[in-house]
Amino acid sequence: MPSEVMRRPGDFQPVIQFSIHADNKVGRLNEIIGLLSVHQVHVIALSILDTTDSSIIRIIVDYPEDAQKLLIEHQFSYVQSELIAVELTSEEEIKTVTCALVQAEINIHYIYPFLIRPNGRYALAISLEDNELAAETLKRNQLNVLGQEDIAR
């Protein structure tokens, strides 16, 4: 009988990101977005890193389990990782985020914005070197750290 780890309220709950490796050819992004859309998996955040031969399409979706099944079924190469997501009430809070992380000496690898967010608030997806410490730090600075269940529709 498998055991399930119970999370305490306030524990860090990551947001799942897929980094999809794609050939740099016309229509590839449209193919991926269309595949997800047809199966009612909504893209919440999107970032693309382009090189000469290939691209890395970073996405956060509302239902990562469904997206994972589709990516495997359609033979897309991807890496799954955990990120921090932080909700912002205004653009000014970006400074609060970066200052808090600097004070805690946590390096930021990359950041990109959410496209949509329930409650009409802004949000950032942040790749960091220490997600749990970052989540604690951001919460201590009165910022709302989002988990995957917070972005499901």
pLDDT score recorded for residue 153:
66
Q: What are phi and psi of 55, to 5 degrees?
A: -135, 155
Can you name the CATH fold of 82-151? Answer: VC0802-like (3.30.2130)
What is the Rg, in whole angstroms, of the alpha carbon atoms belonging to the chain? 16
pLDDT band at 120 (very low <50, low <70, confident <90, very high): confident
pTM: 0.87
Residue 126: other Cβ atoms inside 10 A: 23
15-81 carries CATH number 3.30.2130.10: yes
All structural domains of the chain with their residue ranges: 15-81, 82-151
pLDDT tens string 51-103: 888 899 999 999 999 999 999 999 999 999 999 999 999 899 999 999 999 99
Residue 107 has pLDDT above 70, yes or no: yes
Identical topology for domains 15-81 and 82-151: yes
Residue 3 has pLDDT above 60, yes or no: no
The average confidence (pLDDT) of the chain is 90
Helices (H), the chain: 28-38, 64-73, 93-103, 131-140, 148-151
